[in-house]
Amino acid sequence: MTSRKTTFFSYKPKTILNKHKRADHWFWTRYSAYPYLGCQHGCEFCYCREQKYSPYDDPTDFSHVIKVKENAPELLRRALKNAPLDAIFTGDYQPAERKFELSRRMLEVCLETGFPVFVLERNPGVLRDLDLLRAIHEKARAVVAFSIISTPDSKNYDRVCQMEHLAPPAKKRFDAMQKIAAAGIPVGVSMMPILPGLCDDAANIEAVVRWTADHGGTFVLASGLTLSDQQKEYFFGVLRARFPDLLALYQTLYPPKSYGQIGSNWRKTALLIRAACVKAGIRDRIPRPIVPGEKRAINKHVVELLADQLYAMELNAEPNHRLWMYRKAAWAIEDMAENIGLIHRVMGLKGLEQIPDIGQEMGMIVERLILESNPNST
């Protein structure tokens, strides 16, 4: 571990908003915009050290040389001017934010333009902007998730802390979660990445879910670790130096040229999380932030319900063609310019069946979802 001093470089990028064709089915964001490059939390497993994300030749610079996009709020305002309404993945409350306040100013732009936001944080510093998040939630919806992979009472907590040694302790994140929940904003946990041999045991997974529910969180979304190119090299260097007993396990799970975990039994872990969530009365899916009264609100909610069913089918290992039927229907509804509820009201089931990638069987499924849909429930 290093006590190296952090340096900041301010610059003016030309663009800030990353745009996707449609919102993903995990975080429900179509856009992302971040004010800093590099992260002072310096988690050893961070995928941002991958070549495609990292502007650093030396991966150790990632946590100590922070590039500050000083025109981020202005760029965001300009980019959102003609962008279709959808959720933005934004906010970054690493210590740099106390000095530069760019995340706050970007949230102000989201409030002003009426875009919903999703904030994913390892730092309780996000509480500083609770007033703004509350205002955004009232106007356009906001969802907050804290990155937490282990609870303070878990057997490997001390070792997990060494993996994210520059980030505030998990207890502070849980306490912040409680305050955000008390403010009426949907909040939960992103349990990512579940590190093999450190936090993938059933007791830790159940504890994270239980602590989340006890602190007012309503969801735990989880996924595994990916390791690639220079990030993989860096991470193996950390294992060699500080966790030599884990080296053999990771060499087996992440052999050369692999990205995800070889032989991963992800379904087993996901089912464990689902069972723990059901027991705790929370969900293993993030709620979709949908702007109240927006023209396509019902489409977005039907897509959310379809994606929930798709995830359940994946957990049940249902055949691939069935999964694709749901996936393609969700994409088709997401891409429609028209309000699907209106189509159903005017043309009934026949109208739904005419939508590309829907057809007869899916038409009946979508009809049921329209009838049970409540787009403003987030």
Residues that bind ligand SF4 (CB under 6 A): 39, 41-43, 46, 48, 122, 147, 167
**Minimum distance from residue 355 beta carbon to ligand SF4 (Å):** 38
Could you tell me if 328 and 25 are in contact, meaning their C-beta atoms sit under 8 angstroms apart?
no
Type of residue found at 78? R
**Minimum distance from residue 141 beta carbon to ligand SF4 (Å):** 23
Question: By C-beta, is 43 or 75 nearer to ligand SF4?
Answer: 43
For the four alpha carbons of 24, 29, 35 and 39, in that order, the dihedral sign comes to negative
**Minimum distance from residue 147 beta carbon to ligand SF4 (Å):** 6
**Minimum distance from residue 41 beta carbon to ligand SF4 (Å):** 4
Question: By C-beta, is 45 or 326 nearer to ligand SF4?
Answer: 45
**Minimum distance from residue 83 beta carbon to ligand SF4 (Å):** 24
Tell me which H or E stretch contains 119. Answer: strand 117-121
Q: Please give the order of strands across the beta sheet that includes 65-69.
A: 7-11, 65-69, 36-37
Question: By C-beta, is 48 or 246 nearer to ligand SF4?
Answer: 48
As a whole number of angstroms, the distance between CA 62 and CA 39 comes to: 6
Question: By C-beta, is 86 or 97 nearer to ligand SF4?
Answer: 97
- Provide the 3-class DSSP secondary structure of residue 302: helix
Question: By C-beta, is 166 or 352 nearer to ligand SF4?
Answer: 166
Question: By C-beta, is 42 or 116 nearer to ligand SF4?
Answer: 42
Long-range contacts from 330-334, C-beta under 8 angstroms, 24+ separation = 330/25, 330/303, 330/306, 331/22, 331/357, 332/356, 332/357, 332/358, 333/299, 333/302, 333/303, 333/306, 333/358, 333/366, 334/22, 334/23, 334/299, 334/300, 334/303
User: Tell me, what DSSP letter sits at residue 347?
Assistant: H
**Minimum distance from residue 361 beta carbon to ligand SF4 (Å):** 41
**Minimum distance from residue 149 beta carbon to ligand SF4 (Å):** 10
Type of residue found at 235? F
**Minimum distance from residue 167 beta carbon to ligand SF4 (Å):** 6
**Which two structure tokens, joined as six digits, stand for 270?**
């996901």
Neighbouring residues of 52: CB distance < 8 A, sequence distance ≥ 6: none
Question: By C-beta, is 41 or 232 nearer to ligand SF4?
Answer: 41
Question: By C-beta, is 190 or 261 nearer to ligand SF4?
Answer: 190
User: Tell me, what DSSP letter sits at residue 30?
Assistant: S
Could you tell me if 92 and 36 are in contact, meaning their C-beta atoms sit under 8 angstroms apart?
yes
